[in-house]
A and B are shown apart, each in its own frame.
Chain A
């Protein structure tokens, strides 16, 4: 239950934080919901199916609440959930590794979204916009990921949570 609450808080923060930073901020484009899924995956011990469902629902909520689309982020998050699972097979859950993992997942997320939006023709974007979408997202999401990682480490000890290392 605690995992769903954390994903939901991240989802609310994703919208809330946009009121603090400027619209096209150069360093503060957040993807907190996705980062929370990445940080929380090791805690979905033997519950991969639940993790996929959580990722899909989180994406759908993003679609409906903030993006004005349906299924787009739901399905992208599902694809990224597979990627996250695959990455954790080779990379252990550690603060330093997390910086690398967040970078990979953010790049994959932006690339996937960029190509899908172009292919389905909902919108058209320049390559510069795509490049900026990645550079402007890394800093804030890495900071949030690390904060969440330490919060989860603290909660793991307090609440005896199980985690895949």
Chain B
């Protein structure tokens, strides 16, 4: 009788371990990085998010009333933008002329813009993801950069027909390093890799800068455009502090983003043009 009980216990442990192993294998195999959403996934995601989006409308209206004051401020700013637009148009004309001069067909900065509304934010706690209401049917592809008026916030992680998931830069997943440059003078940059985000200090870090150049505080940190995902010159933040390693060989730069990652409601997707 005793022997029988002991065998049962062992049997249970073995079954439990096999189930656990199977579970881990299934989850690992199915959730590969860079996987594309299957057709049923797309249908379920789009349908349920359509319901969420419809239910969200009264909240948006309520939020709209609260933000009336902000609207006045924004109108003031818009006037300033008009004068900047004129300068921008002139600069664009110069670029066009220069490109014709050097017979350059495209630059890394060529993108078109698509505005989107956030449907849900960071459900499940672990994923620093937001879901937006533009998808494949709107021309969105995996890897596109996503920005707000204050700078880069992340990139498109997955796309369904009418929605997309954006992986924020604040994600603790350190596998994706972004190539960045720090503007140290008018035409001089220091290059490095964005190493991660410290949620405690709310600062990003660029590690391993070997160049021995003086980096002033408040220098602009932008993307280099050297990776496939992000176009060149997209603002990420401003330099906050610089520290040297023990051997005084490499610098670590901490910088802050102007983006309020906690309350992102509207975003802009930088779509890559076919010519670029």
Q: Which residues of A contact B118 (CB under 8 A)?
A: 19
Would you call A12 and B52 a contact (CB within 8 A)? yes
CB < 8 Å: which of A11, A65, A72, A136 contacts B31? A72
Would you call A123 and B126 a contact (CB within 8 A)? yes
- Asked if A89 lies at the interface with its beta carbon under 8 angstroms from chain B, I say no
CB < 8 Å: which of B48, B125, B131, B157 contacts A29? B125
Would you call B31 and A24 a contact (CB within 8 A)? no
Tell me the complex Cα distance, A62–B123, Å.
Answer: 9
Tell me the complex Cα distance, A75–B51, Å.
Answer: 25
Q: Which residues of A contact B199 (CB under 8 A)?
A: 24, 129
Total interface residues on B, using CB and 8 Å? 47
CB distance from B234 to the nearest CB of A (A): 21
Would you call B172 and A15 a contact (CB within 8 A)? no
Would you call A64 and B44 a contact (CB within 8 A)? yes
Would you call A22 and B27 a contact (CB within 8 A)? no
Q: Which residue of B lies closest to A15 (CB)?
A: B120
- Asked if B121 lies at the interface with its beta carbon under 8 angstroms from chain A, I say yes
Tell me the complex Cα distance, A25–B123, Å.
Answer: 11
CB < 8 Å: which of A18, A69, A116, A136 contacts B120? A18
Would you call B262 and A16 a contact (CB within 8 A)? no
CB distance from B146 to the nearest CB of A (A): 14
Q: Which residues of B contact A116 (CB under 8 A)?
A: 24, 27
CB distance from B132 to the nearest CB of A (A): 12
Q: Which residues of B contact A70 (CB under 8 A)?
A: 30-31, 41
Q: Mark B188-217, 1 if CB is under 8 A from A, else 0.
A: 000000000001100000000000000000
* Residues 151-200 (chain B) with a chain A CB within 8 angstroms: 157-158, 165, 168, 171-174, 199-200
Would you call A15 and B123 a contact (CB within 8 A)? yes
Residues of A within 8 A of B (CB): 11-12, 14-16, 18-20, 22-25, 29, 61-62, 64-73, 75, 110, 113-114, 116-117, 119-126, 128-129, 133, 136-137
Residues of B within 8 A of A (CB): 23-24, 26-28, 30-31, 33, 41, 44-45, 48-49, 51-52, 55-56, 59, 118-131, 157-158, 165, 168, 171-174, 199-200, 261-265
Q: List 17 A-B contacts (CB under 8 A).
A: A12-B51, A16-B56, A19-B56, A19-B265, A23-B168, A23-B261, A23-B263, A24-B262, A65-B48, A67-B124, A67-B127, A67-B129, A68-B129, A69-B30, A70-B41, A75-B26, A120-B28
Give the top 9 A-B pairs by smallest Cβ distance, nearest first: A22-B262, A66-B123, A15-B120, A120-B28, A18-B121, A65-B48, A23-B262, A70-B30, A15-B52
Given contacts A20-B59, A116-B24, 18 further A-B contacts (CB under 8 A): A14-B123, A15-B131, A19-B56, A62-B123, A64-B44, A65-B49, A66-B120, A66-B124, A67-B123, A69-B31, A70-B31, A71-B27, A113-B126, A122-B31, A124-B172, A126-B172, A129-B126, A133-B126
